[in-house]
């Protein structure tokens, strides 16, 4: 449920008679977003717990730290956890809430573009395990998601554009022509951000309503993520490259998987080129050596969509026409990186 204004948060708290309210923040949102949240929500009776910002916080160690904080501060089954931050905080906080005392309610307050259009919605919560993205988690929808674009004023240019990889993905899988790629790029990404967030988050919400537990159709949301998640995981542990943001890795995943879509399903070559050029206008190109590609391929064997010991991709026949559970031979995987590197 999208929460339209802060009074709705107070209404949820009153209607559910929560015994206590906890705020989960990272070091960035504690510094830059907490005062705005308190001012607008007028919530005074709360306790806050702060974790280090960054993907490394999506760990069992961080969960233990927060669970212990809840235990030590009278958390119980009637407590509410409000997660204020980007995708790391909402993924982490949702998982912590869903597992603490077998489940307490939580609300997401996304503070990044990426989180507003993707991570805060859909009920996917989780943590990383041995540097593999989202290996441990549950699907559990929040009581609500509050969208306030004022938080975007706190973002750097790099963090702001980071979220647009997921928006590009939405524009490629949707069958709504008005929201497809050729129309997305007509928007002013700054001036039209409120409209962009509301329109493109609705694409994910529509898919999730049809398939909450990702048994079938929801898999289309993983376009770009089979390779993208592996690239992101590799960047965390590799000494050969800098750590990538989620959006940077998904942009790489989109480019490579569109090339594969062209080779397997005849996805239009000119559209593949134009989408690649558009993404590289916003995301820096990363050079991948042979050894990098081989390690990324190994990490893909842990992808959550896999079964029968086979990596499963989401590919496109055309914009708005995705296909799930696709198998790709390793030779084509390496050729896709040649295309990206070129």
Q: For the chain, what percentages of helix, strand and coil (3-state, to nearest 5) are there?
A: 55, 15, 30
| For residues 227-241, average pLDDT | 94
Q: Which CATH number fits domain 157-341: 1.20.1090.10, 3.40.50.2000, 3.40.1190.20, 3.40.50.300?
A: 1.20.1090.10
Q: Is residue 315 within 8 Å of residue 326, measured between CB atoms?
A: yes
Question: Is 2-154 in CATH node 3.40.50.1970?
Answer: yes
Question: Over pLDDT 90: what percentage of the chain?
Answer: 92
**Which part of the chain is CATH 3.40.50.1970?**
2-154
pLDDT at 307: 85
Give residue-wise pLDDT tens across range 53-91. 999 999 999 999 999 999 999 999 999 999 999 999 999
Flag whether pLDDT at 219 surpasses 80.
yes
Flag whether pLDDT at 308 surpasses 90.
no
- Residue 128, token pair as written in the block: 């990383």
**Which part of the chain is CATH 1.20.1090.10?**
157-341
The DSSP 8-state label assigned to residue 25 in this structure reads E
- Residue located via tokens 């991948």: 288
pTM: 0.93
Confidence of residue 309 (pLDDT cuts 50, 70, 90): confident
Q: Is residue 138 within 8 Å of residue 224, measured between CB atoms?
A: no
SS3 for 47?
strand
């Amino acid at each position: 449920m999208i929460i339209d204004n802060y009074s709705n948060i107070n209404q949820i708290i009153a209607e559910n008679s929560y015994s206590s309210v906890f705020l989960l923040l990272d070091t960035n949102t504690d510094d830059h977003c907490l005062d705005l949240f308190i001012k607008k929500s007028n919530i005074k009776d709360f306790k806050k717990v702060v974790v280090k910002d960054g993907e490394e916080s999506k760990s069992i160690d961080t969960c233990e730290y927060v669970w212990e904080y809840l235990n030590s501060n009278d958390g119980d089954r009637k407590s509410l956890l409000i997660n204020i931050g980007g995708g790391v905080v909402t993924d982490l906080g949702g998982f912590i809430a869903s597992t603490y005392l077998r489940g307490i309610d939580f609300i997401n307050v996304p503070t990044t573009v990426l989180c507003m259009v993707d991570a805060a919605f859909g009920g996917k919560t989780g943590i990383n395990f041995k540097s593999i993205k989202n290996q441990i988690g549950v699907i559990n929808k929040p009581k609500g998601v509050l969208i306030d674009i004022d938080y975007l004023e706190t973002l750097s240019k790099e963090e702001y554009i980071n979220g647009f990889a997921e928006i590009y993905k939405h524009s490629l899988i949707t069958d709504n022509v008005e929201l497809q790629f050729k129309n997305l790029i007509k928007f002013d990404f700054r001036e039209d951000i409120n409209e962009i967030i509301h329109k493109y988050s609705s694409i994910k919400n529509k898919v999730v309503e049809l398939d909450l537990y990702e048994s079938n159709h929801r898999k289309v949301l993983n376009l770009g993520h089979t390779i993208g998640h592996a690239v992101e995981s590799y960047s965390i542990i590799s000494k050969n490259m800098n750590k990538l943001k989620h959006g940077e890795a998904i942009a790489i995943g989109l480019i490579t998987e569109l090339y594969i879509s062209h080779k397997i399903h005849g996805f239009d070559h000119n559209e593949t080129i134009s989408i690649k050029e558009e993404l590289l206008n916003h995301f820096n190109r990363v050079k991948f050596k042979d050894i990098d590609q081989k390690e990324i391929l190994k990490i893909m064997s842990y992808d959550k969509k896999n079964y029968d010991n086979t990596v499963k991709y989401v590919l496109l026949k055309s914009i708005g026409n995705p296909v799930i559970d696709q198998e790709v031979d390793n030779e084509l995987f390496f050729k896709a990186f040649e295309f990206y590197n070129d």
